[in-house]
Amino acid sequence: MVAVILCLLLSLPLLLFLIKQGRRKRPRLPPGPWRLPVVGNLHQVGANPHLTLRALAERHGPLMFLQLGSIPTVVISSAHVAQEAFRAHDLAFAGRPALYSVERISYGLRDVSFAPYGEYWRQARKVFMVELLSAKRVRSFRSVREREVASLVASIRRLAPSSSSSPIDLSRMVVSVTNAVTCRAAFGDRYEAAGGGRLHRVLEEMQSVLGGFCAGDIFPWLRWIHALDGLRARVERVFGELDDIYSQVIEEHLRGDCTSEHGDLVQVLLRLREDPTQRNTFGSMDQIKGLLTDIFTAGTETSAATIIWTMTELLRNPRVMARAQKEVRDAAGKKGAVEETDLHDLPFLKWVINESLRLHPPAPLLLPRETTEACTVGGYEIPAGTRVFVNAKVIGTDPANWSNPQEFRPERFSSGGDVRWGECFEFVPFGVGRRSCPGINFALAVVELVLANLLHCFDWEARLGKGEELDVEEAFGMVVHRKRPLCLVAKPYEYGKAIF
């Protein structure tokens, strides 16, 4: 009897605590599907999250709460919710989660994309916008872009005669040219010395690692398992190779071995490191390397995916293809290639690219955010530490904002003037608010020049069966590409007629 009484007395504090917790007002979370113990809603996400989340949002609303493993998560699926969230509470939504693979490969979050919101991020982003990826800096790499695009066109011309029997893998070639442009802009004439082929291979593996499933990002207490499942080894291998390449190139720049015409990005970063006002941002070489990783992760795959999705849609829409080719060929005249100075005369091509981005944003869920403080959106409470996804693909195809949203119709952008990236909440392929992508100018310069030359120099054809249509199946990852490579027949075009 004494033992029973003693147990009751010892249990009393716990009982009182549980009663108090039960009476505490729970936050009014956004609606969402019923969840299972431990895994929450993880089983409902599927292999193509942007598509399954669209279906869930249709049932539960444009502001939806999910429990993904241990992580409370909110999904935004409409322009009006995005506008309220990022206009009224942009600061609260300015955080980023510390993801397992990203944390290591970015040198401890010393990049811009995933750095925690704070003074370092503000200074690093300012460097990106003013020094690395400003319109003036992007223009200075014109010769790099034109040289690499000329090499792409020459390669396609060599393969064209046999492409009717062995179609050209345009997906592979476009990834190669976007990699080359980014690498030459970053490393200058030390790109080949760093091992261009090796760097391409490492960047490809890095994209695979960053875009793959990571249990530790869903169940943080499970991060130890990556020592057993091979992920830690993969991350360390990619990090080690990248670090070796960076160290080699930086050392050569410090010795003065680089003679880039306009100054590559490594030169710019090393110069800024000598500036006393930049010591907090560039106090160590790891900070320079972290920013370089940011340039590579954001500057290659997204541009390549945009080019390939645009070519896919043009082939599926012959009317649009014909108009785009006529515009490009009229602007270029008898020149053998489109130059950057010609791009100003190609408004329809810009509409085509915007329409492609609307239907196929490279990262359809954008980069995840994490709330830095509690806030209220749409009458619902969003606790601090909540992971946030913005479904850019759903927003870009919402019938409330777009007529016939699944139709590829570039003319819908004709009356809008220049798109104000990050401010138009109906169209957010590069993000929204203060954490929108700072590399838009760099990416679009590559995309426009590559597409203009592909359309000017060649007529294109997909080998399809009778009544068959070119597919738009997706392969989900950090960047969403076509599930199958885009393999085409190329017919060289010159001075108004095909020569094949």
Quote the DSSP letter at residue 404.
S
Tokens of 426: 């109906």
Does the annotation flag 375 for ligand binding? no
Whether residue 335 contacts residue 463, with contact meaning beta carbons closer than 8 Å, is answered with no
What kind and span of H or E run contains 64? Answer: strand 63-68
- Distance separating alpha carbons of residues 329 and 496, to the nearest angstrom: 8
Dump the DSSP string for 316-385.
H-HHHHHHHHHHHHHHHTT-SS--GGGGGG-HHHHHHHHHHHHHS-SSTT-S-EE-SS-EEETTEEE-TT
Give the residue carrying structure tokens 């291998």. 237
Spatial distance between the Cα atoms of 292 and 301, rounded to a whole number of angstroms: 15
* Cβ atoms within 10 Å, residue 376: 14
What angle, 0 to 180 degrees and rounded to 10, lies between the N-to-C axes of helices 285-299 and 170-187? 150
List the one residue out of 297, 259, 313 whose CA is nearest residue 442.
297
* SS3 category, 420: coil
Nearest to 401 by CA among 65, 46, 82: 82
For residue 153, the SS3 value is: helix
How is the chain split among helix, strand and coil, in percent rounded to 5? 55, 10, 35
Q: Between 265-273 and 285-299, two packed helices, what is the crossing angle to 10 degrees? A: 150
Number of Cβ atoms within 10 Å of the Cβ of 268: 17
Q: Quick one: which H or E segment has residue 296?
A: helix 285-299
Joined together, the tokens standing for residue 336 give 């053998």
Distance (Å, rounded) from C-alpha 469 to C-alpha 261? 46
Q: List the binding residues.
A: 437
Residues marked as binding for heme? Answer: 437
